[in-house]
Structure 1
C-alpha cells in the first residue's frame, strides 16, 4: 500500500507565493507608465499633454474654493517621468498655479491642478500620429472666452470707440494708406461680417472737394462787391478746409492685417538638419513683420498666435474674421526629403484642383497640422468648416492672387523663388470667404543653406521688409473699403 508524503508548511507557502506572484506580476507588467509630459502655457489656453504607449482613460471634475481641477487616470502607476510634471508648471502660467501628483489607489494616479482662476477644461485623447504615440490632453480654457478684439484693446492696439483713425500727413513714400482716404462706401455684409467685393468702387471724398475745388461765385454788377465776396468766400472755404482737416471726423479707417505663424505647441512643423524648428522660425519672422507693419500709420496687426502654442486651422480663420481683417498672411517654412530643394513660394486658395502636384502635396501636409497639433474633434464646428469652404468666392481668390503676385515679386528680390508664379491649392487656413489670404513658404528649412538664412536675424529682417513692401503695393492699387464701426 502506497502512502502519500506529508505536505510540509514550507512547500505550501512556496506554492502559494508562486500563485500570488502569477496574479500580481501580470498586473504590474500591464500597468502603463507615462513616456513624456509637456506643458504649453498661453493666454488663449494652457495645454498639458501626457504621452503613453497605450490609450489612457481619465475622469475629471472641478472643485471650488479654491479652484482646482482633479484628474484621475486609470491603469497607471506613478513614475519619475510623470513626477516631472510638477516642475514643468511655470510661474507665469495664466491658469495653473501648481500641480500635485500622487498614486491615489492601486493603478490609479490622481493629478490635482491648483488654478489661478476659473477654467473650462477639455480632456480628450489622441491616437498615434507622426512621432507621437497615444496622448492624453488637458486643455484649460478661461471660463469667460477671450475675444480677439478685447485682447487687442487691452494691448492698446485697437480703438474700442472707432474703427477709423485720424488721417496722417500725406507721405506717399511711406504708406499707401492715403489711397484709402476715399473709402466712404458702405460695404455689403453677410452675417454681420463685411464682404470685400472686387467690383465695388470707392465714393469720392466730399472733404477733398471742399479743399481742392475752386469756389464758384455768383456774378455781381458791382465789381468791388464781387471782389469782396470772392475774397470772403475764398476765406470761408479755406477756413472750412482747415476745420475739416483738423476735425475728428476727417478720418481714414484702420487697415487690419492678420498674421498667422504656422504650427506651434505640439506641432513643431518641419525641422532642419541644424535642429531649427519651423514653428520657432515663422513666429520670429511674424513678430518682426508685425513691428514693421505697425510702424506704418493706419495699420495694425493681429497675430493668430504670439507664443509657442497650438492653434487649430479653423480657429486661425475665425480669429481673422472676428477682427474683420483686411488681409490674412500665413507664414511657413517648407521642407522636402531632398535637401537640395530650395526657394520661396506664395500660395492662394483654389476653388478647384491644385495648380501642381507639389502644391497639392504641400496643402495636404499643412492641413494635417490639426492631426499633429491635436484637435479635440468633439469641439470642432464641422458646419462652420463647410460654410467657409462653400463661401470662398472667386472675388476673394482673385484679390488673393493680386496680393500674392506683389509679395512674391518682392521676396524674389532677396531669395531665389521655388516657382516664379503664385500657386493654388486647397489650404484649409486660407478659406476665409471675405479676406484676401495668402500662404508664404519663406524658404526650405530642410535645405542647410536656407535653414541658416531662416535663423539669421538680418535675413529675417530683410524677408519681413520684403513682405511689407508687397502689402503696401497691394493696398496702393487696391485700397480697402469703408465699413461700419465694430461695436
Structure 2
C-alpha cells in the first residue's frame, strides 16, 4: 500500500497525500449518496379509492408489478435516493384504509429505490406522473381501486363503488310517474386539491365539505327529498366524475359548494353561478371558472381518464336545463342574501366544467370569500355553516315548488 511505507514528512508520504487529493477530486460520489429525492409524500384514503403521492423536483422514472402471497404492489424508481420523508411514509397509513396495510421503502440496488405497498385486498392500480402545477412539483401518483373487472376504467370503478339512493326512496315515487327529488351535493376540491385558503390557513376543501354534510342532513330530513354527495370525505374527485355520478344517480338537481379567494382581500359576499355556453357574464366570473376548472390539473387526473374527460356534454346542453338552472340559482341567491351580503346581486354565468350535466339543472354556490378575514372566520363556525346549509335548502324548496308543484 502506498501509505504503509515512509514516515510523516517523507517524500513517499507527501506523494501519497497528493494522490489521495486527486482521487477525492476525480472519483464520483458513492452510488445512492447523491441524486434526486422525494421532498413530500401523502396518503389519501377513502372508501372509494386510496391515493399515494410522491413529490419531487425531478420527474421520476418508474416500473411496477404485483406480487401474491402475500399481496403486494412493488414500485421501482430509477436513480432516486432515500430521504427522510420516505422513512416516515408508513406512518401516514391509516389503520382504517381499506386497501393499504403497510408501506416499506428501501434501496433495492445502487440505482433503484423500491417501494413495497402491502395490500389488504385485490386492487386495480392506476399509476402516472403529473407535471408541476400551482404549488406542486413533479408528482408520482398511485391510485388504488377495488379490483372488480380488470377492463374497467377509473370512471367505471368510481361509479360501481357509489351506492345508489334510489332503492330507499321507492316510497317517494308518488304521485305515480314522478321520480324522487334527488339533490347531488358537490363539495368542491378535496384530497390533493385543497382549493383556496384564508390568511388563517383555513382550507376551502374542509369548509365546503362541512357545509355539504350539514345540507345533506337537512335534505334527508325532508319527506320527499334525498341527497347524495360527490365526496363524503377528503379525497379528490375529477370534475367529469362528479358530473357522471350525478347522472348515474339520476339527480334532479346538482349543487356545487365553494368558498373562493381572490387577491383583493376586501372582496366579500356570496354568489351563485350557472353554466354559460357563450362566454362569461363578467371578467370575475370567467376568472373563477378558469380557476375552478384547474382542479383536475391540481388534483391529478391520469391519461387513462382522457376518454371521459373529452366530453361533448357542452354541445348536448339543453335549453330547458339552462333555464331551470337560472331559476334554481335565483331561488338560492335570494336566500343567501338573508344571511350574508351578496358579492353580485344576480346569478352569473361562466364555463364551469362541473356544471355540464346536459339534463340536470346545476348551480355553483360561492358561500363567501375565504380570502376575506371576517368571512374566513365565519366560514369556520358551525353557526354560519348551518345558516348557509339552511339557505340553500330553502332555495331548493322554492325551486321545487315553482318547477314541479
If the length of structure 1 is used for normalisation, what is the TM-score? Answer: 0.76
Q: Is the CA contact 1:314–1:385 (under 8 Å) kept in the aligned structure 2? A: no
Match of 2:304, SS?
A: coil
Q: 1:159 to 1:28 in 2, by over 3 A?
A: closer
The C-alpha deviation readout for 1:170-208, integer Å capped at 9, x for no partner, is: xxxxxxxxxxx5563xxxxxxxxxxxxxxxxxxxxxxxx
Mapped pair 1:300 → 2:226: yes
The corresponding residue for 1:127 is: 131
1:388 Cα deviation (Å)? 1.2
Mapped pair 1:288 → 2:214: yes
1:9 Cα deviation (Å)? 8.4
The corresponding residue for 1:395 is: 320
Q: In the alignment, which of 68, 72, 76 is matched to residue 72 of structure 1?
A: 76
1:148 Cα deviation (Å)? 4.4
Q: 1:10 to 1:60 in 2, by over 3 A?
A: farther
The C-alpha deviation readout for 1:290-327, integer Å capped at 9, x for no partner, is: 00000001321111111111111111111111111111
Distance across 1 between alignment mates of 2:199 and 2:209: 19
Q: Is the CA contact 2:33–2:81 (under 8 Å) kept in the aligned structure 1? A: no
The corresponding residue for 1:114 is: 118
The corresponding residue for 1:42 is: 46
Q: Which stretches in structure 1 are left out of the alignment for 5+ residues?
A: 1-6, 168-180, 185-251, 481-487
Mapped pair 1:88 → 2:68: no
The C-alpha deviation readout for 1:335-386, integer Å capped at 9, x for no partner, is: 110110000000000010101111001100000111111111332225x633
Match of 1:443, SS?
A: coil
The corresponding residue for 2:280 is: 354
Distance across 1 between alignment mates of 2:359 and 2:224: 20
Q: Is the CA contact 1:77–1:106 (under 8 Å) kept in the aligned structure 2? A: no
Q: 1:381 to 1:105 in 2, by over 3 A?
A: same
Match of 1:438, SS?
A: strand
Larger Rg: 1
1:451 Cα deviation (Å)? 0.6
Q: Is the CA contact 1:129–1:371 (under 8 Å) kept in the aligned structure 2? A: yes
Distance across 2 between alignment mates of 1:362 and 1:54: 31
Q: In the alignment, which of 26, 40, 46 is matched to residue 22 of structure 1?
A: 26
Distance across 2 between alignment mates of 1:275 and 1:438: 27
The corresponding residue for 1:159 is: 167
Q: Is the CA contact 1:149–1:322 (under 8 Å) kept in the aligned structure 2? A: no
Distance across 2 between alignment mates of 1:14 and 1:257: 79
Q: In the alignment, which of 270, 275, 279 is matched to residue 344 of structure 1?
A: 270
The corresponding residue for 2:3 is: none
The corresponding residue for 1:451 is: 376
- Of 55-64 and 277-286, the range deviating more from structure 2: 55-64
Q: Is the CA contact 2:196–2:370 (under 8 Å) kept in the aligned structure 1? A: yes
The corresponding residue for 2:56 is: 52
1:142 Cα deviation (Å)? 1.2
Q: 1:88 to 1:352 in 2, by over 3 A?
A: same
Mapped pair 1:61 → 2:65: yes
Distance across 1 between alignment mates of 2:393 and 2:195: 24
Distance across 2 between alignment mates of 1:346 and 1:122: 35
Distance across 2 between alignment mates of 1:463 and 1:165: 29
1:68 Cα deviation (Å)? 0.8
Mapped pair 1:430 → 2:355: yes
Distance across 2 between alignment mates of 1:471 and 1:315: 23
Match of 2:359, SS?
A: coil
Q: 1:122 to 1:147 in 2, by over 3 A?
A: closer
The corresponding residue for 1:367 is: 293
Q: Is the CA contact 2:328–2:361 (under 8 Å) kept in the aligned structure 1? A: yes
Distance across 1 between alignment mates of 2:140 and 2:281: 38
Q: 1:183 to 1:403 in 2, by over 3 A?
A: farther
Q: Is the CA contact 2:216–2:227 (under 8 Å) kept in the aligned structure 1? A: yes
Distance across 1 between alignment mates of 2:159 and 2:239: 16
Distance across 2 between alignment mates of 1:53 and 1:147: 31
1:80 Cα deviation (Å)? 1.4
Match of 2:311, SS?
A: helix
If the length of structure 2 is used for normalisation, what is the TM-score? Answer: 0.91
Distance across 2 between alignment mates of 1:92 and 1:158: 28
Distance across 1 between alignment mates of 2:33 and 2:353: 44
The C-alpha deviation readout for 1:7-57, integer Å capped at 9, x for no partner, is: 958736853673366332396675111111111001111011111111111
Distance across 2 between alignment mates of 1:76 and 1:23: 20
The corresponding residue for 2:252 is: 326
The corresponding residue for 1:442 is: 367
Match of 2:27, SS?
A: helix
The RMSD of aligned alpha carbons is 2.2
Q: Is the CA contact 2:265–2:372 (under 8 Å) kept in the aligned structure 1? A: yes
Distance across 2 between alignment mates of 1:87 and 1:288: 31
Q: Is the CA contact 2:189–2:205 (under 8 Å) kept in the aligned structure 1? A: yes
